[in-house]
Amino acid sequence: MKFHVLAETLVALEKESSRTKMTELLADLLSRATPHEAQIISYLTLGTLRAQYKANQFNFAEKSMLKLLAHLEGLTLSEFTHTVRERGDVGIAILHSQWPSQEKNVTLLEVYHQLEQLQTLSGTGSQEEKATLLAAILQSVDALSASFIIRIVLGTMRLGFSDMTLVDALSWMAKGDKSLKKDLEQAYNLCADIGYIAFLLKDQGPQALSTVHPTIGIPIRLAAADRAESPRAIIEKIGPCYAQPKLDGFRLQIHIDTKNKRIWFYSRNLHDMSSMFPDLHEAFQCMHVDTLIVEGEAIVYDEETESFLPFQETVKRKRKHDIEEVAQSLPLRLFLFDILYLNGKAVIGMPHTERRALLEQTCGLCSDKRINVIEEKYCTNPKELADYFNEQITRGLEGLVVKRPDALYQPGKRNSNWIKLKRHEEGHLRDTIDAVILGYYSGMGKRASFKIGAFLVGIYNPEKDRFETLAKVGTGLKDDEWIELKKTCDEIRVAEKPHNVVCASELAPDVWTNPSTVVVILADEITQSPLHTAGKTENHLGFALRFPRFMGYAIDKTAIQATSIDELKKLYKLQYTS
């Protein structure tokens, strides 16, 4: 396949707002690809070179890109920068200038391998090497192809769909309908590498999807908890249950391969954070296993007061530099709450009680106090559960995660196998909302100097693979936080409303952003709205937040892990229950 063919489809996808038509376009493209090309297409359409859990950064600054492109087009940096500002995107800008090449015969594989080479360059003098290699790549293709290569390198490939649309497209490619979606999702949940799933489907057919199993070094998509309003509601729903303290730290999935002396730490959004936890890496040397996958919560612990520190302290451990020094000043404890894989065998199909026993047997005797199996209590009635909940609140924790005794571990699923019960904040809404920033409004009055006065947030609709507006937020930030928020938004600003955002014209922000930054919002209540599009249908009004305020960033969540429409509907109902 020629890279230009991919570029033409990407243009069509970018102009299309219908998810159904996007799915058809992707399915048609994938049907014409070889297995290896389908794998690459799956990555590139999501703006990466490989699976999203792997490192995908090119570390090539936009300023360096502007200089390079200005040189290739025979313009001054000032002239080219002006064109970029007019067009709103550096990749789009070259489509409206005199590009030096019209070549359309370079293959997808050729471009991909060159980009792989570009990404491997590092060290002293690597920026010059990168500029030379990138110039050669760009000069070998036409302007349309170059525009997407530029956006891949800069990390600004935003086509308005997620991996779930790719799953649909793969089903349409193979079956002509969505009948294969369930099998594809199951395989993808066990092996969070959409490119590999695409390769397997093209290479061996649908029957091969059943052969996908958990693999050490490839993250399993995380199970998630449902919500409930009270201990009584939980007992009525699932009966006697096991309750565990809910910690506010880093949720980690840990993979151990003793033979090859490898340990991986994957975050909630399945990013590889292995380099950030040298202390935990050392602690896991006490494990006498061949292979192991476990999940837990890492949180900074004050040894003197024997207490957990707030998430604001734990988040300081997320860094690229001075890792060893910070690890000493902010020591972590890891509390393991589940086991998924042991010595070559997946155990996610076992009930909770059996997995718990296996977890204690495998990890409970670890001599290093940095590794712990989280406590749990068996509760048979609402009073027992309420008493245990209040005990955790007194300890300064968030609440409980309650689990059915027979619950299997279901990757990528949110259901009543696990239910979270959190302390009630001020106001009628009994939980915070994880929302996605969609854009911001210019400031007025005191905030005029900040050039930002409020921001628009939305939530994710997984059924339609899109973001729907929920609130205009203007409180909860200090002056310096407004400045920082604007900087964050400007780094992901886009020229026009993304295709996967549904917003009433009356609410359109002054600056649109790519829906990628997740924030925590607290409000007095969820109301119905004729303007906001969250959950809106022909027969029902949308949902909105009354008196929303910013509480912080959900740094370990991706946009599609934000609060979903189904969760919002449950929260709306919960606020009216006693």
Residue range 488-520, pLDDT digits in tens: 999 999 888 998 999 999 999 999 999 999 999
Residues in contact with 355: Cβ distance below 8 Å, sequence separation at least 6, in sequence order: 338, 339, 347, 348, 409
Q: Specify the pLDDT at position 395.
A: 84
**H helix runs in 16-61, sequence order:** 19-31, 35-44
Q: Which amino acid is at 493?
A: R
Catalytic entry in 63, 178, 237, 246? 246
Catalytic site includes residue 246? yes
Give burial (CB, 10 Å; 0-12/13-18/19+) of 244: buried
Give the DSSP per-residue string, 504-550: -GGG--SEEE-TT-EEEEE-SEEEEESS--BT--SSS-EEEEES-EE
Q: With 70 as the cut, is the pLDDT of residue 90 above it?
A: yes
d(CA 305, CA 328): 17
Q: With 70 as the cut, is the pLDDT of residue 576 above it?
A: no
The closest alpha carbon to 461, from 397, 532, 511, belongs to 532
Residues in contact with 578: Cβ distance below 8 Å, sequence separation at least 6, in sequence order: none
Place 322 in a pLDDT band, splitting at 50, 70 and 90. Answer: confident
Q: Are 292 and 285 in contact (CB under 8 A)?
A: no
Q: Specify the pLDDT at position 84.
A: 85
| Residue 462, SS3 per DSSP | coil
| φ, ψ of residue 111 in degrees (nearest 5) | -65, -40
Q: Which two tokens stand for residue 144?
A: 């349309």
Q: Specify the pLDDT at position 577.
A: 59
Residue range 547-574, pLDDT digits in tens: 899 999 988 888 998 999 988 988 888 7
CA-angle at 314, arms to 311 and 319, nearest 5°: 130
Place 203 in a pLDDT band, splitting at 50, 70 and 90. Answer: very high
- The pLDDT of 192-210, averaged and rounded, is 97
The closest alpha carbon to 351, from 302, 287, 405, 312, belongs to 405
Location of structure tokens 């840990």: 254
Parallel, antiparallel or unpaired: strands 241-246 and 377-379: antiparallel
Share of residues in the chain with pLDDT > 70 (%): 98
d(CA 103, CA 483): 44
Give burial (CB, 10 Å; 0-12/13-18/19+) of 321: exposed
Residue range 340-374, pLDDT digits in tens: 999 999 999 999 999 999 999 999 888 888 999 99
Residue range 20-45, pLDDT digits in tens: 999 999 999 999 999 999 999 999 99
The closest alpha carbon to 400, from 380, 367, 375, belongs to 375
Q: Which domains does the chain possess?
A: 47-154 (1.10.3260.10), 224-422 (3.30.470.30), 433-574 (2.40.50.140)
Residue range 420-452, pLDDT digits in tens: 998 754 344 557 899 999 999 987 766 777 889
CB-side exposure of 384: number of CA atoms within 13 Å? 15
Q: Are 526 and 429 in contact (CB under 8 A)?
A: yes
d(CA 570, CA 433): 12
Q: Which two tokens stand for residue 135?
A: 């110039």
Q: With 90 as the cut, is the pLDDT of residue 93 above it?
A: no
Higher-confidence residue: 327 or 440? 440
Can you state the angle between helices 382-394 and 231-238, rounded to 10 degrees?
130
CB-side exposure of 58: number of CA atoms within 13 Å? 27
Q: How far is the CA of 86 from the CAs of 76, 96, 100, 397, in angstroms?
A: 16, 11, 21, 50
* Strand ranges inside 267-343, DSSP E: 291-302, 307-308, 332-342
- The pLDDT of 144-170, averaged and rounded, is 91
Give burial (CB, 10 Å; 0-12/13-18/19+) of 164: buried
Predicted TM-score (pTM) of the model is 0.84
Rounded to the nearest integer, the mean pLDDT of the chain is: 91
| Residue 285, SS3 per DSSP | helix
| Residue 437, SS3 per DSSP | strand
Q: How far is the CA of 207 from the CAs of 204, 211, 406, 484, 567, in angstroms?
A: 7, 8, 29, 50, 34
d(CA 461, CA 515): 13
Q: How far is the CA of 69 from the CAs of 122, 176, 235, 324, in angstroms?
A: 21, 42, 63, 40
d(CA 211, CA 183): 11
